[in-house]
Chains A and B, each alone.
Chain A
Amino acid sequence: MIKLEPRGERSRLMAYLSPVLAILLTMLTGVILFSLLGIDPWHALVTLLYTPISDVYGWTELAVKATPILLCAVGLSVVFKAQIWNIGAEGQLLMGGLFGSFMALQLIDVEGLWVLPVVLVAGVIGGLFWAGIAALLKVKFNTNEILTTIMMNYIALNILLWAVHGPMKDPDGYNFPESAMFGDSSLMPILIEDTRVHFGLALALLAVVAVWVLMSRAFMGFQIRVMGLDASAARLSGFKEKRLAFFALLLSGGLAGLAGVSEVTGPIGQLIPSISPGYGYAAIIVAFLGRLHPVGIVLATFLMALLYMGGEMAQIELGLPLALTSLFQGLLLFYLLACDVLIGFRLRWISNTPGAQGSSTAPAQPLSTTNTSAQG
């Protein structure tokens, strides 16, 4: 039989190989799934992973889809490094979109270069505000952030729906739940002509670099990493744990808010009920798949964006439900968690004779996470 044997120390190689292995296993599961559905698996994989980016326009669309995911994921990488479970990027994104839209509608007839920055700042404030509530509750009342951020996702969605069905509905919009189209000055400039690639991508890449510098060069980033690895060591070193937690949550919230506002001022151009097909949740998977590292996150973001485009393509070409994307997202995270076991353990064939078992000393932590309980 196969037995897991503790390695004694974490394998760096497996930490990098595990996401690759997880992607391969997800594809293999996809092949089995497609075969069961009576679809040629090769054709399905090509439709899913190649057709969307088989021309230059496809690549630019990939960049458009990647922008909000990247912004959310890079922010999440900071909180996750601090061992704080912000599951609320989705709600923070929606709030960013809502606040940004509110500002854009106020400035709908105003022209000027300053309009877009003001709208973007409003969106960031929306994300900061939403993450700030969860951060405040965590720091002041020790409330579990998993549950509060999840609850606030639902609250944000309902506030958005209320706004778009009520006060922010376009008065000339034939009663559709949509806001008016924003003024030109509120819209993101297009980076590449004749495509939808917008300035938000530049902001996202800038955020990646900034977070990289913060986490690898700045003292603040060092403190966050120490806090995540060993909270008591951080406390003994005199790091202000609460302040760090607050900062990390706000940073991720602000970036998620920016993601939301860059969607409404970018490819959408108005406030609609469905500004995100779950980018905030996808970003959680991206952050883990990218090993919380900027380079890994960029790569994982493009894979996730491709999965969104592939899902749409599979719906058109193969008649499969759009939920194929979220199904594969879930599979990917499962396989990643399972493969991550190999970071702390190695597989060993063991004969079933007594006394042949490996030692059961305390193993290395299988995932770069410690235990969080549901209590507040």
Chain B
Amino acid sequence: MDIDLITNVLYAMVRTGTPLLIVALGELICEKSGVLNLGQEGMMLMGAVVGFIVTLTTGSLALGFFVAILAGILMSLIFGFITMELSANQVATGLALTIFGTGLSAFIGAGYVGKPVEGLDPIYIPVLTDLPIIGRMLFGQDLIVYLSFALFGGVYWFINHSRPGLILKAVGENPHSANAIGLPVFKTRYLAIVFGGAMAGLAGGYLSLAYTPLWVENMSAGRGWIALALVVFASWKAERVLLGAWLFGLASILHLVFQGLGFSVSPNLLAILPYLATILVLVVLSSNQSRNRLVAPVSLGKPFYAKS
């Protein structure tokens, strides 16, 4: 394997892992507050389609990303309303959000399939980008990839070193005790849900405005679901989310490696790899039940009733 191939694979790994990283960071915060939102896929797709349409019609990438985030937030508010105000089951509501988002995005995006848009370009930094092996991976990426680095740092700091992060964890571990000592359970959970929506919208926008860049029905291809598995894989730790997202990025681009090495395998069979990796990871992690019980937020998935 030559240096060029390694350099390119590492570059593509981070690039492919970026949408996963962004969604998973959002879901991590959401789950830390005790809310399990299975609607990531639907929110991503809405972000992708709305961002694409706005950029296509206005020509502004910034506006596209902004509206993509907004779309994710609006979708997450539907989830928030139904699970928080109406105390509906989080699993069923998240599932509904995904089905709804898949349908709505396909509906409004039907006229935009296959249209080209000027996507986000990688940034060239003299000297650093040209470094061997890690140059393109760390210094030759586009703006959103760098933003994902910053988001990772922010989330890591927030969870581990900030006071609001402490409140978030308290709410997720035991909302009733948190409520009893006067912590705003509802507000915290709402904010966490909205952050999750914003991240999913941004990740969707990244897919349609930078990664591909075009709009195709159902283009997130299960990334929202993989992100959910990633959070489990990461044992609800931010640094492991980063590692996991890049590893899954690598699993998704293995066909490049295979091509580079001269193997010919069916692209459909190689497309299975990230899904298969997800299942394997889940199996390995969940076979140790007592460990999972210790690391998962205790109230995860449980609705909180007592309003005062």
Contacts and interface: CB of A to CB of B under 8 A. Distances in A.
Contacts, number: 193
B286 A142 contact: yes
Interface in B92-113: 92-93, 95-97, 99-104, 106-107, 110-111
A373 interface: yes
Interface in A320-343: 320-331, 333-334, 337-338, 340-341
Interface residues of B, number: 63
B29 to A, nearest CB: 14
B87 A151 contact: no
A327 B108 CA distance: 10
B300 A375 contact: yes
B177 interface: no
A202 B288 CA distance: 45
A161 B268 contact: yes
B228 A374 contact: yes
Contacts of A367: 88-89, 92
Nearest to A315: B110
Interface string B39-52: 00010000000000
Contacts of A148: 279, 282
Contacts of A140: 287
Sort chain A's interface into a size bin: 35 or more
Interface in A224-261: none
Contacts of A155: 272, 275-276
Contact of A137 (B231, B279, B305, B308): B279
Interface string B265-308: 01011011001101100110111010011001000111101111
Interface string A130-155: 00000001001111101110111011
Question: A154, A284, A324, A374 — which one has the most chain B CB atoms within 10 A of its CB?
Answer: A374
B38 interface: yes
A296 to B, nearest CB: 16
B88 A341 contact: yes
Question: A87, A327, A334, A373 — which one has the most chain B CB atoms within 10 A of its CB?
Answer: A373
Interface in A276-310: 281, 284-285, 288
A141 B292 CA distance: 12
A151 B228 CA distance: 11
A326 B102 contact: yes
A323 B92 CA distance: 21
B86 A281 contact: no
A35 interface: no
Given A148-B279, A148-B282, A375-B300, A142 B287 contact: yes
Contacts of B268: 158-159, 161-162, 165
B279 A371 contact: no
Nearest to A137: B283
A85 B91 contact: yes
Contact of A324 (B107, B225, B269, B276): B107
B36 interface: yes
For the complex of A and B, the 4 pairs showing the least CB-CB separation, nearest first, are A376-B286, A330-B100, A326-B103, A321-B110
Interface of B: 31, 36, 38, 42, 78, 82, 85-93, 95-97, 99-104, 106-107, 110-111, 217, 221-222, 225-226, 228-229, 231-232, 266, 268-269, 271-272, 275-276, 278-279, 282-283, 285-287, 289, 292-293, 296, 300-303, 305-308
